[in-house]
């Protein structure tokens, strides 16, 4: 994890030195804002948010501070933004899974309305792709077939990020499709998962690609759950290729603001994120991070994606809720 954090910091410092001279929009409202990530440093969501931050700041013309407000399966960070004024000072940076957190833990949310009424989607810029299923290099589990066979013989300990995440959904679908049961151990984020796998604290782990990308040779990467392969591991099959299309999932990272935020502020944010995405420096960063390809999603496209994704998750919500209760989330 330390290596990943060092790599991410080094890349961000480099970006700060090469940012182009751009013409930011004339600022509206506060000149200092916080971009809140509800997950820990080093995970896929945090990496996707920090990657675009210096470019967004350059085009938005305001000071942007990255903050991590973790806990409650992401609900702590979501609540933090909701409980702040609707004046554009606080932006929630999260994946599509943020939209179902209230269904999973109604008592944990400080807002009474559904997420899509409590927050305004702004734009999305980063595909976390699917998730990576991996074991430690010296593990006898080296392929997905090995994994399924081992899980049928004994209950494997499986590490995953916070309950309610896309990783959690993948795990529940795997249990159903493979006909197995895992001893699920939740961690705060992908960085902790990678450390747990390397330390032998779990038999297998599932998380996004960025935490693994610092040193993929340290793991047996069994499969990836995305629709598109990560550039750095083209030789690793997808769940679809392995005959398990049901386990396919996609995580997209974007921005949300609290309801009643003025339309003018939302529009300025959307435009700044779009310019940041199109910037040559950001595109180079995406290549360095080996992120799967994804076109920028403006507000309309982001809302459409969220609606489509929510429809596909409905079938597993009962199992997801039961699993979260069992995990004490």
CATH number of the structural domain spanning residue 155: 3.40.190.10
Instruction: Kindly state whether residues 123 and 260 are assigned to the same domain.
Output: yes
Instruction: Kindly state whether residues 13 and 125 are assigned to the same domain.
Output: yes
* Domain assignment of residue 96, given as a range: 7-129+252-317
Q: What is the CATH number of the domain that holds 77?
A: 3.40.190.150
pLDDT < 50 stretches in the chain: 1-18, 20-21, 23, 25-27
Instruction: Kindly state whether residues 81 and 93 are assigned to the same domain.
Output: yes
Q: How many domains does the chain have?
A: 2
Instruction: Kindly state whether residues 124 and 211 are assigned to the same domain.
Output: no
Determine the pLDDT at residue 165: 78
Q: From CA 42, how far away is CA 12, in angstroms rounded?
A: 13
Instruction: Kindly state whether residues 191 and 157 are assigned to the same domain.
Output: yes
Determine the pLDDT at residue 140: 97
Is 324 among the domain residues? no
Is 236 among the domain residues? yes
Strand order in the sheet with 251-258: 63-68, 32-37, 90-95, 251-258, 119-129
Is 218 among the domain residues? yes
Instruction: Kindly state whether residues 56 and 156 are assigned to the same domain.
Output: no
Instruction: Kindly state whether residues 70 and 157 are assigned to the same domain.
Output: no
Instruction: Kindly state whether residues 125 and 216 are assigned to the same domain.
Output: no
Is 326 among the domain residues? no
Determine the pLDDT at residue 73: 81
Is 190 among the domain residues? yes
Residue found by looking up tokens 């074991």 in the block = 135
What is the enclosing helix (H) or strand (E) of 37? strand 32-37
Alpha helices (H) along the chain = 2-18, 44-60, 75-82, 101-104, 115-118, 144-153, 166-178, 190-198, 210-213, 263-278, 280-288, 299-313, 317-326
Determine the pLDDT at residue 22: 52
Determine the pLDDT at residue 21: 47
Is 328 among the domain residues? no
Bridge partners (DSSP) of residue 261 are: none
Determine the pLDDT at residue 106: 87
Residue closest to 109 by CA, chosen among 99, 121, 94: 99
The answer to whether the CB of 207 falls within 8 A of the CB of 216 is no
Residue closest to 328 by CA, chosen among 196, 208, 201, 163: 163
Determine the pLDDT at residue 292: 82
Q: Assign residue 163 a region: left if phi > 0, alpha if psi is -120 to 50, beta otherwise?
A: beta
Determine the pLDDT at residue 312: 67
The helix/strand/coil state of 15 is helix
Domain termination site, one of 204, 226, 249: 249
Instruction: Kindly state whether residues 124 and 259 are assigned to the same domain.
Output: yes
Is 323 among the domain residues? no
Determine the pLDDT at residue 310: 80
Domain termination site, one of 249, 270, 292: 249
Tens-place pLDDT, residues 245-290: 888 888 899 999 999 999 999 999 999 999 999 999 999 999 988 8
Instruction: Kindly state whether residues 45 and 88 are assigned to the same domain.
Output: yes
Is 219 among the domain residues? yes
Instruction: Kindly state whether residues 14 and 125 are assigned to the same domain.
Output: yes
Domain termination site, one of 249, 264, 299: 249
Instruction: Kindly state whether residues 37 and 124 are assigned to the same domain.
Output: yes
């Amino acid at each position: 994890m330390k290596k990943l954090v060092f790599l991410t910091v080094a890349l961000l410092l480099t970006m700060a030195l090469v940012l182009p001279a751009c013409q930011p929009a004339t600022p509206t409202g506060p000149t200092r804002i916080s971009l809140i990530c509800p997950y820990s440093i080093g995970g896929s969501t945090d990496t996707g948010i920090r990657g675009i931050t210096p470019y967004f700041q350059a085009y938005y013309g305001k000071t942007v501070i990255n903050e991590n407000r973790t806990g409650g399966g992401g609900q702590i960070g979501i609540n933090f933004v909701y409980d702040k004024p609707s004046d554009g000072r606080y932006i929630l940076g999260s994946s599509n899974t943020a939209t179902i957190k209230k269904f999973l833990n109604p008592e944990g949310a400080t807002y009474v309305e559904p997420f899509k009424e409590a927050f305004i989607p702004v734009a999305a810029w980063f595909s976390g792709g699917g998730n990576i299923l991996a074991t430690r290099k010296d593990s006898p589990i080296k392929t997905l077939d090995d994994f399924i066979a081992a899980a049928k013989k004994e209950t494997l300990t499986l590490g995953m990020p916070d309950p309610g995440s896309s990783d959690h959904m993948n795990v529940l679908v795997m249990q159903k499709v493979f006909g197995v049961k895992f001893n699920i151990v939740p961690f705060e984020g992908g960085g902790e998962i990678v450390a747990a796998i390397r330390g032998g604290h779990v038999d297998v782990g599932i998380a996004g690609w960025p935490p693994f990308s610092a040193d993929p040779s340290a793991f047996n990467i069994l499969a990836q759950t995305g629709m598109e392969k990560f550039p750095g591991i083209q030789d690793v099959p997808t769940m679809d290729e392995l005959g398990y299309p049901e386990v396919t999932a996609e995580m997209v990272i974007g921005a949300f603001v609290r309801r009643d935020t003025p339309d003018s502020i939302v529009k300025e944010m959307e435009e700044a994120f779009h310019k940041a995405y199109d910037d040559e420096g950001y595109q180079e960063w995406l290549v360095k991070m080996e992120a799967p390809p994804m076109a920028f999603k403006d507000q309309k496209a982001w809302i459409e994606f969220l609606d489509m994704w929510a429809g596909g998750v409905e079938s597993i919500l009962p199992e997801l809720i039961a699993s979260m209760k069992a995990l004490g989330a």
